[in-house]
Amino acid sequence: MRRLRLGPVVAVGAIATVALLTPFLGLANPLHMDIAHRLAPPSPAHPLGTDAYGRGVLSRLLWGARVSLMVASSSSLLACVFGTALGLAGGFLRGPVEFLALRGMDVVLCFPPLLLALLVVTLLGPGAGTLIPVLVVLYLPGFVRVVYAGVISVRTQDYVEAMRSLGAGRMRIMLRTILPNVGGPVLVQLSLAAASAVVLESGLSFLGLGVVPPTPSWGLMIGAARATMAQAPLLLLWPCLALSVTILALNALCDALRDAVDPHGMTRRAHRAGILERLAPGLLPARGPALQVVGLTIAIDTPAGTIHPVRDVSLTVMPHETLALVGESGSGKSLTGLATMGLLPSIARVERGAVWVEGRDVLRLDEAVLRRLRGEMVAMIFQDPLSSLNPVQRIAPQIAEAIQAHSAGAGKAAKRRAVELLRHVGIPDPERRAHNFPHEMSGGMRQRAMIAMAIANHPRLLIADEPTTALDVTIQAQVLELLAGLRHESGMALVFITHSLPVVAEIADRVSVMYAGEIVEQGRVTEVFARPLHPYTAALLASVPREDGSLPEPIPGTVPPPSALPPGCAFAPRCRHVAAACRTGVLPLMEVEPGRLTRCCRWSDLA
Amino acid sequence: MLYVLKRIGVSLLLVWVVATIVFLAIRLVPGNPAEILLSQGGVAPPPGAVAQLRAQLGLNQPLGVQYVEDMRRLLMGNLGTSMQDQSPVADEILRRLPRTLELIVAAAILSVLVGLPSGLLAAIWRGGMFDRVASWLAAVALAVPVFVVGTLMIEIFALGLHWAPAGGYVSFARHPLRHLALLAMPATTIAVGLAAILFRMTRASVLDVSMRDYIRTARAKGVAPRRILARHVLRNALMPIVTVLALNLGSLLGGTVLVEYVFNWPGLSGLLVSAVNARDYPEVQGVVLVISVLFVALNLAVDLLYAVLDPRVRQG
Helix or strand run (H / E) with residue A294: strand A291-302
**What is chain B's length?**
316
pLDDT at A156: 63
pLDDT of residue A240 exceeding 70, the answer is yes
Those residues with Cβ within 8 angstroms of residue A437's Cβ, 6 or more apart along the chain or in another chain:
A391, A392, A393, A394, A395, B311, B312
Q: Give the pLDDT of residue B42.
A: 54
Please give, rounded to a whole number of angstroms, the shortest distance from the CA of A450 to a CA of chain B: 9
The torsion of the CA quartet A39, A40, A45, A46, rounded to 10 degrees, works out to: 50
Between helix A395-404 and helix A443-454 the angle, nearest 10°, is: 20
**Comparing A110 with A59, which gets the higher pLDDT?**
A59
User: How confident is the model at residue A495, as a pLDDT?
Assistant: 93
Q: Which residues of B touch A199 (CB under 8 A)?
A: 145
**CB contact at 8 A, A422 and A434:** yes
Map out the domains of chain B with their CATH numbers.
Answer: 2-89 (no CATH), 90-315 (1.10.3720.10)
pLDDT, greater one: A57 or A327: A327
* pLDDT (0 to 100) of residue A279: 39
Is B97 at the interface with chain A, CB within 8 A? no
How far A266 CA lies from chain B's nearest CA (Å)?
10
B118, burial (CB in 10 Å: exposed 0-12, middle 13-18, buried 19+): buried
Q: Map residue A510 onto helix, strand or coil.
A: strand
Q: Which residue has the higher pLDDT, B203 or A158?
A: B203
Strands (E), A406-478: 461-465
Q: In which region does residue A305 sit, left (phi positive, over 0), alpha (psi from -120 to 50) or beta (all else)? A: left
Of residues A23 and A179, the one with the higher pLDDT is A23
The count of CB pairs under 8 A between chains A and B is 215
| Burial of B165 (C-beta count, 10 Å sphere; 0-12/13-18/19+) | middle
Better-predicted residue by pLDDT, A43 or A148? A148
User: Taking the mean position of all CA atoms in its chain, how far away is CA B216?
Assistant: 38
Tell me: pLDDT of A561 over 80.
yes
For residues A177 and A234, the answer to whether their CB atoms sit within 8 Å is no
Average pLDDT for residues B292-309, to the nearest whole number? Answer: 80
Residues on chain B touching A382 (C-beta within 8 angstroms): 213, 216-217, 220
Q: Does B221 touch chain A (CB under 8 A)?
A: yes
Q: Is the pLDDT of residue A272 over 50?
A: no
Chain A contact present for B95, CB below 8 A:
no
> Are A495 and A462 in contact, with CB atoms under 8 Å apart?
yes
**Closest by Cβ to A199, choosing from B18, B145, B219:** B145
Q: Which residues contact B47 (CB under 8 A, 6 or more apart)?
A: none
- Based on the number of CB atoms within 10 Å of its own CB, is B295 exposed (0-12), middle (13-18) or buried (19 or more)? buried
Residue pair B272/A118 in contact by the 8 Å Cβ criterion: yes
Q: List Cβ neighbours of B64 (8 Å cut-off, separation of 6 or more).
A: none
Smallest Cα distance from B173 to chain A, Å: 30
- C-alpha of A358 from chain center: 34
Task: Enter the ipTM.
Answer: 0.77
Residue B230 touches chain A, beta carbons under 8 Å? no
| Residue B139 CB coordination number (10 Å) | 15
B151-171: average pLDDT? 81
Does residue A264 have a pLDDT over 80?
A: no
Is the Cβ of B147 closer than 8 Å to some Cβ of chain A?
A: yes
* A118:B272 CB<8 A: yes
For A374, list phi and psi in degrees, rounded to 5: -65, 135
User: What is the rounded distance in angstroms from the CA atom of residue A350 to the CA atom of residue A313?
Assistant: 12
Nearest-angstrom CA–CA distance, A463 and A375: 11
Residue B36 has pLDDT above 50, yes or no: yes
Q: Which residues of A touch B218 (CB under 8 A)?
A: 390, 401
- Residue B104, judged by CB atoms within 10 A of its CB (0-12, 13-18, 19+), counts as buried
pLDDT band at residue B120 under the 50/70/90 scheme: very high
Which residues from B are below 8 Å from A106, CB to CB? Answer: 14
What structural domains does chain A harbor?
A: 6-22+47-261 (1.10.3720.10), 291-508 (3.40.50.300), 527-607 (no CATH)
**Closest to A112 measured CA to CA, from B288, B152, B280:** B288
Residue B84 has pLDDT above 80, yes or no: no
Collapsing DSSP to helix, strand or coil, A522 comes out as: strand
**Angle, helix B281-309 to helix B268-277, in steps of 10 degrees:** 150
**Predicted TM-score of the model (pTM):** 0.75
CB contact under 8 A, B309 and A392: yes
The DSSP H or E segment spanning A21 is helix A6-21
Report pLDDT for B187: 92
